[in-house]
Amino acid sequence: MATATVTSKGQVTIPKEVFKTLDLDVGDFLEATAEGGRIVLTPKQLAAKAPAPRLTPAEQRILARAKAKIERIQQDLSHAKGLTEEEARVAGKAGLIDPDQMYWWTEAWQKGERAAEADVQAGRLRGPFTTVEAFKTGFKKRSPARA
């Protein structure tokens, strides 16, 4: 069993055999938790390890526009405009957004998101429901008051 020493700065060096066994690299992230009097370090992959794609100067400008739009969408969904198809393609290529979810960031999709958000803000939606019974009750037609 390999041992490690805690430094005065609270740092620990991972023993070489553990480092190799887990295929760790310098700069990798580890989640640290305390479990039953033990320190558990779990490798975390925040993004796929892949070389960054080379972007042309034009793509870099497109990426800058896409990044600004994505930040606006994240801050204010109700008023932000979505990405163009080209911006979504470049943002996916650069890893800024998941390539499988590029559609969500496009203006066509964001138009629907803005409409849904407007419905939420205007109270035109029912729910959320915590039980099936609450769901059923929420959708029962209300009969008009009788005179």
pLDDT at residue number 141: 55
Q: Give the domains, in start order, of the chain with CATH numbers.
A: 10-49 (2.10.260), 57-122 (no CATH)
pLDDT at 56: 94
The percent of residues in the chain predicted with pLDDT above 70, rounded, is 91
Helix axes 85-94, 57-75, angle to 10 degrees: 100
Give every residue of the chain whose pLDDT is below 70, as ranges: 46-51, 141-147
| Both tokens assigned to 30 | 């580890």
**Tens of pLDDT along 95-131?**
899 999 999 999 999 999 999 888 888 888 877 888 9
- Which pLDDT score, from 0 to 100, does residue 58 have? 96
Helices (H), the chain: 16-21, 57-75, 85-94, 102-105, 107-122, 132-138
Predicted local distance difference test score (pLDDT) of residue 73: 92
Helices (H) and strands (E) in the chain, counts: 6, 2
13 and 3 Cβ atoms separated by less than 8 Å: no
pLDDT value of position 146 = 47
